[in-house]
Structure formats: C-alpha cells, structure tokens
Homo-oligomer: A and B are copies of this chain.
Amino acid sequence: MSLDTLIITDVAPRDGLQNQQIPVSTSAKLRLIQLLHEAGVTSIEATSFVSPKAVPQMADATELMGEINRHLPHLRASALIPNRKGLERAHAAGAREVAVVLSATQTMNQKNINMDLVTATKICEETLHAAQALGLRTRAYVAVAFDCPFEGPTNLDTVVALAERMHQAGAEEIVIADTIGSASPGMVKNHFERLASVLPIKKLAAHFHDTRGMATANAWAAIQAGVRRFDASAGGIGGCPFAPGAAGNAATEDLVLMAERSGLTTDISLPGLLKAVDYAESQLGRTLGGRSIAWLRRQYAADKTAS
C-alpha cells in the first residue's frame, strides 16, 4: 500500500442496511456487494452475526457469507461479531475476516450489550484471540470514540487505552468510530494525532457519520493526520439503531471524489459506485446519495447512458 492510496471498507451492506425498515433479500445484498466489488471496492463489511431477533435485517448472515465465498472468493468480506458465539457462527459460515465492537463508555456498553466497559473489553480481547486462533483476519471498532449519546464527550485517554488494548490483542485494524456523527475536524485531528503517537497509523481506520454534515471534512482531517483506512457506505446509507440521533454513514462516493481530487488514489470507479447506489435505491425504494451525488449524476450521465 502506497501512503497515497486510501483503503475504503464499504459498510453499506452491514452498517448501511442494518437500520433500514425495508427487508433486503440475500440475493439483493449479494448483488449490491458484487456491484461495489466491480466498482473497485476491495474491502466490504458484509454482514453481522448478531441475534436475528435484535437485527432482523442480518438474519441471513450465514447464507450471505456462503454466497460471497462462492461468487467473490477474493473479496475482503468482514462480518461483525458480538462475542464468541457470533464468532463460531461466522467461522462456520466461512467468514475469513471478523470485527468486534467495543464502545468507549460505560453507558453505551450497558445499553448496547448490557456489560460494563471492563467486561466488554475483556470479551473483545478473548474474541480477537479466538478468531486469530482460527486463522481469521480481525478488526476492532472503538465505538462512540468522540461523543456518547448518553455520557457526552468521550474521554480521549480511554479511547487511546482501548485502542491500545485492541492492538495488543492482535486486531489488524482498529477502527475509531464517530458512531453518532458528532465529531468535528478539530476533534478528529486531536484524536488521531494522539492515537498515532502510540499506535502504528497504518493500523488505524476512521469511521464517520454525516449527521452534522462534517463527514467529508472529518475524513480530510484524518487524512492529514496520516490515516489511510476509512469506513464509508455507498450512497451514505446507514445509521446506528442503538445511538439516538445518528444519521447516514460518510458516503463512499464523497470520500473517493475528495481523495481523487486531492491527489490520492482509491482504485474505486465513481461511475461504478453510482451503479451500486442506483441498485440500492431500487431495493430500498428511496433516494440515496452523499453530498456530491447530484454533481456526480450530472457528470457521469453520459457514461450511464452508454453502459
């Protein structure tokens, strides 16, 4: 990886769809993932092995993972796992990459998974170790890393300490997540400069939501701090069901456009992404798209007609 390449993990199939009221079929999810892959996206958060009762949209995790392995054997397809049981299900389904989620505040862990922060941290570490023992690639989220919907501003020392714990537990990528979309570029600069002083920057990723219209500015601040790995979702689909006030994810097309216009590469095709957004719109029955979508649609209208 050149320092001038952004690696984007498209989280539309998981973080994007998880909160959508309209059920999306397994074949439609596979099609969306295929379109993203065809656009040049090499890393996708595909599904989540959580309780189907809690998140009905992810009830087909085993089936979808099987389809991905059959049709897209070279794709980095990540599966979210809440614990060891989730890991076992993910492994049985053939997942090659899993992600654990650790919230950085007491209350968020209590509300989300009914555990205190110490226990949640320990569970994540154990799950990471178990995943590695199975030969799986691992990611670890540090959620509500800027603000918690219940506690307010998150303590940066805690965020740094938890990120270090996840790093020591072997997570190959540590995703610093602005779960409720409250971060500003000044906060992002401060967070990642601190994190980069104790952790290898190439292992850090940034995950933003566009709630306050600052996702793109935040991504730029992270890039300037040396971050090259980002979560984003095609069309900006998304939101966290457990975090009041959360809105869509940073849109993949916005990040790709900003990166390419700023001299970085992503190897992701913007017309290809638009096809994926079009497809997601047809499945969800509503208009999607990041901040640049109107301009992109005008710009690539000719390509679309020709294809």
Contact = CB atoms under 8 A, between A and B. Distances in A.
Interface string A260-298: 011110000000000000000000000000111111001
A261 B216 contact: no
A290 B214 CA distance: 11
A298 B211 CA distance: 11
Given A186-B264, A221-B220, A224-B224, A291 B210 contact: yes
A182 B261 CA distance: 9
Contacts of A187: 261-262
Interface in A155-190: 181-187
A213 interface: yes
Contact of A291 (B224, B257, B263, B291): B291
A183 B211 CA distance: 23
B295 A213 contact: yes
Contacts of A291: 210, 212-214, 291
Interface residues of A, number: 34
B295 A185 contact: no
A144 B291 CA distance: 22
Interface in A207-225: 210-214, 216-217, 219-221, 224
A258 B185 CA distance: 7
Nearest to A211: B295
Interface centre among A182, A185, A261, A292 (most CB of B within 10 A): A185
A186 B263 contact: yes
A247 interface: yes
B262 A213 contact: no
Contact of A290 (B213, B224, B294): B213
A206 to B, nearest CB: 14
A254 interface: yes
Contact of A184 (B183, B262, B293): B262
A182 B219 CA distance: 18
17 contacts: A182-B261, A184-B258, A186-B262, A187-B262, A211-B295, A212-B295, A213-B290, A213-B295, A214-B216, A214-B257, A214-B258, A214-B261, A214-B291, A216-B217, A220-B221, A247-B294, A247-B295
Given A185-B262, A214-B261, 20 more contacts: A183-B261, A184-B257, A185-B220, A186-B262, A186-B264, A211-B295, A212-B257, A212-B291, A213-B216, A213-B254, A213-B290, A213-B293, A213-B295, A214-B257, A214-B291, A216-B216, A216-B217, A224-B224, A245-B295, A247-B294
